[in-house]
Chains A and B, each alone.
Chain A
């Protein structure tokens, strides 16, 4: 069969437009303005480790909340009748097609001190409650934006579960909690892994959510990188930070993938 040569143009495309650009990031990270080799960018970028740590911690928190919030929803969807399933699933995917910039902006209108929620609370003489510009609001913004990415893969695996397995577990005397813990949960691990991957990566690298919903203490690594390419001119430092972020993401995904052996973990 010659059909394997059909992959040729694709491989060439991906090599030129993903591998080579990543090589350029590495090149910029290890050179200075004049093109001479240096470690200075990386050592200086490393000074920003508290920011990196904060980004990771926000993203991990967002992942866990998405999992806890999203799992029951995915379960309920999967247990519904076929037509209800369609409607509910559609309603989960629909927000993903809408501008996340505007949706996040709407949260600002809801949460800020003179916003909708605080004005409402004000009618009862409460507040204004500190709903915005803190770590909580940033994590909430991430959960809001990326929750569908968690629900979708969870739903896919739960919907595929063989109901006879659950019946068998119940016949063998498992309570509903036991059935869940021993049968349903282990079988949904692939969905959990791909959900976490799909939430963690955009969350750890976001800059828009922290810009809009975060306060002055919630700067994330994405903000600093964006600044190097759009504000101060320091592509080399920005590239070094991107490199660190990329390595971090690849390591965490490598760790996650140890839980499953699926070839296409990141698929929906």
Chain B
């Protein structure tokens, strides 16, 4: 009988615990922020005293609790929202995904009265094609996609272009993007196509080129790149410049370049409020807070991307603010091309082609 009592007690305890956790702090609002992995300063690391952005926000607004979670790439963010059943208040998709979400009615127009800091955003980041009337988004970062490589193993004579990712000398040591849009862009750059082509033949040609690369590729990755490049399991990878700078801090043998002649992707990641949001006003507070020069500067020091708020540079580590990787010169940026939203058919074709490449199905032949 004693056993029965103890079992019952355990159950009662469990339920009361569960009930407790359900109604912990009732007058606090929980703000669900959904960002890329490793894309915000979250406190000291590697001996450098970075700020903790979320912590600072909660200090300033004690009534708001931030529930910060991360996604891997634009596609998984989009799928998470489309699959439904969830609610987020702030998301930070890239340009082309913002355009797609606007088209599909997935974003709420922002109330800029709550975001006075929007005035601080540089003019060149406003009126972008993805949000022509500046209704839905406030820029978070901008950056480029280039190649990170390990100088210990990679011959300087081989670098300079995207073809390094197809160089058989480094078979098995090459990483590749696991999301279709970024992977296709590299193949398209090599073929001289626009990143926004919807021509099925051009998409197929890009897929064929990726198929050709596949035997050389060690893994298709997103943030797993940090481990693989850090511990030198892989030597060459295309990735976003800001993340590359973070990796270079950890491993001084790593270096980064943008292709010298071919085109490359330039992107803007911007903060938006999805239509499933439940705390719109608080979300706008958060967006406004991120645009504060001091916060934006401290944040960029860590994540290594370009800030769209020039006033933030004052607060940044001068070395970071002058970095050629984060802020390439105008001449280099000429070769950059931004992604636009593809039509549904083209996007689906690209998704399917990339899945087929990864699965090793040769559907063309």
Contacts and interface: CB of A to CB of B under 8 A. Distances in A.
Contacts of A233: 75, 78-79, 82-83
Contacts of B233: 112-114
A224 B232 contact: no
Contacts of B83: 229, 233, 235
A51 interface: yes
B81 to A, nearest CB: 9
B313 interface: no
B359 A51 contact: yes
B360 interface: yes
B360 A50 contact: yes
B358 A47 contact: no
B280 interface: no
B359 A48 contact: yes
Interface in B336-365: 348, 351-352, 355-356, 358-361, 363
Nearest to B354: A232
A219 B358 contact: yes
Interface in B68-109: 73, 75-76, 78-80, 82-83
Contacts of A232: 75, 79, 180, 351-352, 355
A216 B351 contact: no
Nearest to B214: A216
**Range for the number of chain B residues in contact with chain A:** 20 to 34
Interface string A35-67: 000000000100110110000000000000000
A95 interface: no
Q: Which 6 A-B pairs have CB atoms at the shortest separation, nearest pair first?
A: A232-B351, A233-B79, A233-B82, A216-B217, A219-B359, A112-B233
Nearest to A214: B219
Task: Tell me the dominant secondary structure on chain B's binding face.
Answer: helix
Contacts of B215: 216
Interface string A203-218: 0000000000001110
28 contacts: A44-B352, A47-B356, A48-B359, A48-B361, A50-B360, A51-B361, A112-B231, A112-B233, A113-B233, A114-B231, A133-B172, A216-B214, A216-B358, A219-B358, A219-B359, A219-B360, A224-B359, A227-B355, A229-B79, A230-B80, A231-B76, A231-B79, A232-B75, A232-B352, A233-B79, A233-B82, A234-B348, A235-B83
Contact of B218 (A51, A216, A227): A216
B218 A47 contact: no
Task: Tell me the dominant secondary structure on chain A's binding face.
Answer: loop
A217 B359 CA distance: 7
Given A231-B75, A232-B355, A217 B218 contact: no
Contacts of A227: 355
B30 interface: no
A41 to B, nearest CB: 12
A77 to B, nearest CB: 29
B50 interface: no
Interface in A231-266: 231-235
A51 B357 CA distance: 12
